[in-house]
A and B are shown apart, each in its own frame.
Chain A
C-alpha cells in the first residue's frame, strides 16, 4: 500500500536552512507577516481565520477564528499565549515543528497577535524540550533583528513582543488556565471557567491561547486564502494534520496528512503497521486521553467528527498502537499511573479518583481483585467526569473506562488467572506510589 503525506507545515522540514531566517525567507517565509501588517485590517485577518474553519490542533479542536473573536475589541492590553507545553503521551508533533521550522511558529504568533490586538505573545514551551527551546530562542532573536517583532514592526507602528517561556515539568500546564497560572509565576493550577481566558486570562486581561500547530497554519491561510485552505480535509475538519504515530508500529514518527483519510492509511500505509505477523489490538486515536478503539475501527476516517461519532476523539492527533502482545489491564494501569502522577491535586474527584483507580488496577493485575472491582472502577470514572475544574481527571476516566468496557472479558480473565496462580510482582508496589505533582516533596 503506498500512501503519501500531504505536506504543508512539513514542507522542506529536513532542510537545515529552514530553521534560519534566511532559509525560511527563501521558501516564502514572512511574506504573510509583511502582507498582514502592512496591508490588512486586523478584523479582516481574523475573519479569514474564521472562514478557513481551522480547528485547534492542541486537543480540543475548537475553531481558532471563533475563539479569537471572543476577545473584546478596543485599546487595552491583550495577550497571546502559544501552548507549546506538548506533554500528551503519544504527542511529539510540536517538537519537530518547532525544532526544524521555528520561524513558521514565530510568524504565526505575530499574525494571531495582530488579528486580536495582542501586544505581548508568549510561547510556553515545556521545560523538557531544552534543545527545542534553544532553537526557538535563536529564531526569535533573528526575527527581532529583522524587524518582524518588537515595538515597531516593519515601520508600521504596530507592536508585538514575543517571549519564549520555558516550563518546568508538569502536564497540567498544558491545560490553558493552568498554563496562565504557570506563566504568572505560580504553581500550575487550573482556574474555574467562566470567565474564559478570552475575557479574563493572563494577568486578568483578554488572552488568546493557541497550540503550536494551529499557529503554524496561519501563514498559509494568509498567503493562499481561506477558500484554498478549505480545499483540504473535510467540511468539518479542514486542512492538514501532523500526526504522531508510535507504539507497536514499524516506522514511528510524525506524518502530515489530509484530514479525513482512513486511519488505516496512517497506521499501516505510512507507519508500517505492527511488526510482521502481529495484529492491532487497541489504538489511541488522539493521545492517551482518547478512548481506545479496536482493530475493527481502523477504517474510520481520521477526522474530528468521525472519531467523535465513534465515541473517541482526534485530540492532538497522536496515535498510539498496541498489538496483540499487550495486556489491556496493564495498559490501563500504565495509562492511569500517568494521570495520577500529573494530577495537580486541586479537585477531589481527580486527586482521589486517579489514586483509587491506580490502586484498583494494581489489584487487578496482581490478582487481588474480584469482578465487582471492575464495576467500582467504572463507577469511579463516572464520578470524575465533569466534576472538576479541568479535564485531566476526565482524560484518565475516558480511556480507562473505555478499556474496561471494550475488553471486560480480558479484565475478568486476568483477575481469574492471577487469583489461581498467586499475586504477580509489580514493578512498583502500591504502598510506594509516587506523589502527585503539587504535593511537597
Chain B
C-alpha cells in the first residue's frame, strides 16, 4: 500500500521529526469541528412536550443519567427515529453531550439511528419461530410490503413508498404464538403467509391489523382454570 495514498503531506514525516510549532499546527488541523459539548438549553429549540417528558423521567431516578433510555424513547416516539436534532434536544435537557446519547442509542436494537418506514413490522426469526416457519413469514411480509428481503434480514428495510419498515428480529418472547410478528409495538400470531398479506393490506387501509391474532387477547395455554391443588385450596380458605 503506497505511503503517499491519501496521506496529507505533513503526515509523511515521522512525528518526532516535527518541531513543537509544527506539531501544534498538525494537531489544530485535526481537531474535529463538529464535536459538541453539552448543549445549553437556551441554544437549542426543545419542544415543550418533549422537555417535560424527559424531565419527568429524570425526576424518577436517584441519578439523572438513568433517564438516557427513556429520553431516547421520547425522541424516537416524537420524530420516528433518533434524529441528530432530537438527540441534541434530549442532550440539552439532560445536560449530557449528544455524542453520549448517540453512543447509547447505537447500542440498542430498538433505537433507530436512521429514518425508517412509518409502520414497523418486526418478524421473529429465532429458534422457536424458525422451527415453525419464521423465515417464510419474513419473506411473505417483505413481498406484501415491497421491502427488499435481504435488507429485511440484515437490520431491516423500508419500502420505496416509505410506508413499511420490515425487519427480522431476535426472540420477542412470544414463542407460544410462533411464527409471530410485532406490528407497531403489538404482538400478533401465529401467522401464515396469508396473514402477512392481510395485515399489510389492513394497515394500508388504515384498519387495525389481524383481529383475533393479538397476543394480548390470548388465554393461558392450560385452558379454563383447572381445579386448584388441594394445598393451594387449603391455603386460600384461611
Determine whether B153 belongs to the interface, using a CB cutoff of 8 Å to chain A.
yes
Count A-B pairs with CB separation below 8 Å.
210
B226 partner, pick from A5, A8, A100, A284, beta carbons under 8 A = A5
Given contacts A7-B228, A428-B154, contact A247 B131 (CB under 8 A): yes
Given contacts A184-B66, A251-B221, contact A7 B232 (CB under 8 A): yes
| Docked-complex contact A90 and B69, CB < 8 angstroms | no
Interface residue tally for chain B (C-beta within 8 Å): 65
| Docked-complex contact B127 and A187, CB < 8 angstroms | no
| Docked-complex contact A185 and B127, CB < 8 angstroms | no
Determine whether A421 belongs to the interface, using a CB cutoff of 8 Å to chain B.
no
| Docked-complex contact A168 and B63, CB < 8 angstroms | no
The A338-394 residues at the B interface (CB cut-off 8 A) are 338, 341-342, 344
Q: How far is the CA of A165 from the CA of B122 in the complex (A)?
A: 22
B171 partner, pick from A88, A100, A163, A184, beta carbons under 8 A = A88
| Docked-complex contact B173 and A320, CB < 8 angstroms | no
B155 partner, pick from A99, A166, A434, beta carbons under 8 A = A434
Determine whether B36 belongs to the interface, using a CB cutoff of 8 Å to chain A.
no
**Residues of chain A contacted by B215 (CB below 8 angstroms):** 131
**Residues of chain A contacted by B114 (CB below 8 angstroms):** 441
| Docked-complex contact A187 and B186, CB < 8 angstroms | no
**Residues of chain B contacted by A87 (CB below 8 angstroms):** 170-171, 173
Q: How far is the CA of A99 from the CA of B219 in the complex (A)?
A: 11
The A191-215 residues at the B interface (CB cut-off 8 A) are 203
Q: How far is the CA of A238 from the CA of B128 in the complex (A)?
A: 29
Nearest chain B CB to A19 CB, angstrom units = 11
Determine whether A268 belongs to the interface, using a CB cutoff of 8 Å to chain B.
no
Q: How far is the CA of A87 from the CA of B104 in the complex (A)?
A: 19
| Docked-complex contact A185 and B235, CB < 8 angstroms | no
Determine whether B108 belongs to the interface, using a CB cutoff of 8 Å to chain A.
yes
Interface residue tally for chain A (C-beta within 8 Å): 89
**Residues of chain A contacted by B72 (CB below 8 angstroms):** 168
Determine whether A175 belongs to the interface, using a CB cutoff of 8 Å to chain B.
no
Q: Contact flags (1/0) for A46-59 with B, using CB distance below 8 Å?
A: 00000000000000
Report the stretch among B3-11, B21-29, B174-182, B201-209 that lies at the interface.
B174-182
| Docked-complex contact A254 and B73, CB < 8 angstroms | no
**Residues of chain A contacted by B126 (CB below 8 angstroms):** 89, 288, 334, 338
Q: Contact flags (1/0) for B217-238 with A, using CB distance below 8 Å?
A: 0011110111111011001101
| Docked-complex contact A231 and B231, CB < 8 angstroms | yes
Q: How far is the CA of A131 from the CA of B108 in the complex (A)?
A: 19
Determine whether B165 belongs to the interface, using a CB cutoff of 8 Å to chain A.
no
The A267-291 residues at the B interface (CB cut-off 8 A) are 270-271, 284, 288
Q: Which residue of A lies closest to B64 (CB)?
A: A185
B175 partner, pick from A188, A244, A427, A440, beta carbons under 8 A = A244
Determine whether A326 belongs to the interface, using a CB cutoff of 8 Å to chain B.
yes
Determine whether A432 belongs to the interface, using a CB cutoff of 8 Å to chain B.
yes
A90 partner, pick from B153, B171, B226, B238, beta carbons under 8 A = B171
B128 partner, pick from A89, A126, A342, A432, beta carbons under 8 A = A89
**Residues of chain B contacted by A188 (CB below 8 angstroms):** 107-108
- A sample of 13 more A-B contacts (CB under 8 A), given A91-B175, A256-B222, A322-B131, is A89-B128, A130-B185, A131-B185, A169-B110, A185-B68, A335-B127, A341-B170, A342-B170, A427-B135, A428-B154, A435-B155, A437-B109, A438-B107
The 4 closest A-B pairs by CB, nearest first: A253-B221, A169-B109, A246-B175, A185-B68
Sample of 27 A–B contacts (CB below 8 Å): A5-B226, A6-B232, A7-B222, A10-B220, A14-B220, A89-B127, A90-B128, A127-B73, A131-B187, A168-B73, A168-B111, A169-B108, A184-B66, A185-B68, A223-B235, A224-B235, A228-B235, A252-B221, A288-B127, A318-B175, A320-B127, A334-B130, A335-B127, A344-B107, A432-B150, A432-B154, A435-B155
